[in-house]
Structure formats: structure tokens, C-alpha cells
Amino acid sequence: MSWGSKKMLPLTIALRRLVMATVRKLKSGNYQAILTISTGKRISATGKTQDEALQAVFKLSASGSDTPAPAPTTATAIDPTMLLTVGAVIDRYIDSKCLVLSPTTVEGYKMLRKERFKGLMSVPLSELSKEVLQKAVNTESLMVSPKTVRNAYGLITSAVGMFAPDLHLSVTLPRKNKKEIYVPDEEEVAKIYEIVKRYSKGRLIKPYLLATQCGLRASEIAGLTTDCIKSDCIIIKQAKVSTHDGAFVKQPKSNKGYRSIPISPAFSALLLQDCVGDSVCNITSHAITKAWYVLRDTNDLPKHLNFHALRHHFASQCLLQNIPQKYIAELMGHADCTMIERVYQHIFPSALSAYGKRLANRTDTLLGDKT
């Protein structure tokens, strides 16, 4: 097929000739292809897609006396994938995973795609380098937490790795901040319970007790149904999560998520009171979190006391009662003891003081001091 043919030249052939072509996304949403021809002149054309823009600039160059600059003998033909932008490959990556990932994970990916590394989204893979990515990471690190930067970077590298596996882009990421986890002690939990009972006609009583006394997550509380409440235990078999598209029920991530938590008959009876339909608490996970923040802020409770900290309280109380870590992990729905060892081993000031006295008394016992 000749360059001047009226038939559309296949894109793969065009790309082999358009070694000097670049494509960028315009604010209008269209794409602009820029081609440098043999005379050094640059010509451009636009299209609704990258392919259309490339075809248009090719036809434009073929209609004149100039021909595209010949590719160097050592050059490799451009892979069409490399003309995709970072944003485009992330979109494709999310679409390819949407049926196997949970809706909350997909929503999280979409939020990262929309809010983070905005300056990188229009960059073609052919122009993406370690230097470009490192500069983008540096910029993001000034605006958000290291964890958020790492999450967004992970999404980018996963998406790029799917479509351009030979593109290696390891960069230096911001160091993780050691997050201080707040765990309320038994006395504080009792005081807060009095506030909870008075707040919003007791709307948070059941969620509060399920978190502090059973270690349930907000989504597990929202998904709890009456058939899961037995006289001596609670059966966890599902979670109900909230997204922008509404609330939906999902199964636990692993078999460890299915578990049984012992409770007293009195607590069982309380949980089965005032149920709406088969829902034990009749509240979404989002509503639980939102209501908790209102309660916390209107009662001058510690700012770092989020609802999830109540779950930490349960785990820590189990540890203080010398319950084996393996069993605690099962109660919490963890796959192994790693999270228990890394997160939940908090000793409260009161308990630490008691342990200190016991250690001191050991010395007195050895010395024979009876006082």
C-alpha cells in the first residue's frame, strides 16, 4: 500500500513509520499527534482517540511532498501500547479486575486514579521513565501521607506492569510513618458506654458493644443478621460495606473471616431486641462511622479514637487475659498471628503499673522482705 493511498493505512504499519510521532491528550478530551518529518518540520492532527490522531497525522503527512523521517536502523518499531497514557492503562487495569476484586477495592482504585498523580495521567507510556515517576512521587509526597503515595504508586506500577511488563520503574518511595494506635482501656470504655447510651436514642449501643466486647469490624456489624445470634455465640459469615453506589453484602476475604465469637445469654438477648427485619443493628458501616465521629467530637473524646480503635480494645483485653495469640487471631478474623504481634500488643498504663509492681515484688521476695 502506498503512502498516498486513500484507504486507511493499518495502524501497525503507520506506527513503524511514525517513529518521531508523539501523542498527548488535550483538555478537550481529544488527542493530538505530532509528527516530525524529514525536513525537520512538525505537523500535527487531532482525533477523538489516540489511534484516530495518529491516522490523521499520517494522512496529512502523506498528502504533502514531505515524507515521514525514516527510522534509524537501530530503532525498534513503536509498540501501540506504549502510546497509551498512564491514565488509560489504569482504566483498563481496573476494568480487567472489576469482576474479581471487591467493589470497595475497585472504588478505592478509581478514587486513587481520580485524585492522585494527576500530572502523570496524561503521560504516554513511551515517555514514562524513572525520572518522571520519581518527580511525580516527590510532588505527591508533599500533599498526602506516605501510605496514600504508596497505594497510588502500587496501582500505577500494577497497571503499567500488565500492559508494559518490560518497563521497569522502581523509584524511592516516602518512608512509612509509624502510626500510633490508640487503644482505650477498660475504664475509658465504661465511661464512653454511658455516653453511647444517651446518644441518638441508643443508636450506637449494639455497634459499640459488638466492637468492644467481640472485636467486630463496622462492616461485620452492619452485615449481622438475627440468624447469626445464638444463645452462646455470634456467627460471622458476611460483611455489609458502603460505597458511592450503595451498600452491599460481601463474603469474608478468607476462610478465617468465617468465625464464631462466644457471648453470654444476656448479651444474646440484648442483640435480638428491637431488630428491624433480619438486621440486628439496622445501620450501614458508613452510618456507624459517621455517627461515631459526631459522638466523639461533641463529647470531647480523643481525636484519634476512631471506631476501629474499639476493635483494638477487644484484642488487647484478650492479650491481657493471657489468651493464646492463635485463638485471638481466630476471634479477630486474621489469617495468622502477624497482625496480633504487629498491631495489638498494647499494654495500658494501669496494666503496666501493675506488672511493674509484680516485678518489684519479686526482688522483695528474694530478699525476704515481708512488708
pLDDT in tens, the chain (371 residues): 334 343 444 444 444 344 456 778 887 888 888 777 666 677 788 888 887 877 777 777 666 534 444 433 333 445 678 889 999 999 999 999 988 888 888 989 999 999 999 999 999 998 999 999 999 999 999 999 999 999 999 999 999 999 998 888 889 999 987 777 788 888 999 999 999 999 988 999 999 999 999 999 999 999 999 999 999 999 999 988 877 767 778 777 667 778 999 999 999 999 999 999 999 999 999 999 999 999 999 999 998 899 999 998 898 888 888 888 889 889 999 888 887 777 665 555 555 566 666 667 766 666 766 55
Range of the domain at 62: 11-78
**Are residue 158 and residue 221 in the same domain, yes or no?**
no
Rounded Cα gap, residues 256 and 135, in angstroms: 41
Rounded Cα gap, residues 260 and 269, in angstroms: 17
The DSSP 8-state label assigned to residue 226 in this structure reads: G
First vs last C-alpha separation in the chain: 104
Q: Give the chain's domain count.
A: 3
**Are residue 204 and residue 267 in the same domain, yes or no?**
yes
Rounded Cα gap, residues 361 and 264, in angstroms: 36
- Measured CA to CA in angstroms, residue 57 lies from 126, 161, 371 at distances of 18, 29, 95
Rounded Cα gap, residues 81 and 55, in angstroms: 15
Residue 20 φ then ψ, to 5°: -95, 15
Rounded Cα gap, residues 48 and 223, in angstroms: 45
CB 31, CB 52: distance < 8 Å? yes
**Are residue 41 and residue 147 in the same domain, yes or no?**
no
The DSSP 8-state label assigned to residue 343 in this structure reads: I
Rounded Cα gap, residues 352 and 363, in angstroms: 17
CATH number at residue 22: 3.30.730
316 found inside a domain: yes
- Residue showing cell 524513572: 130
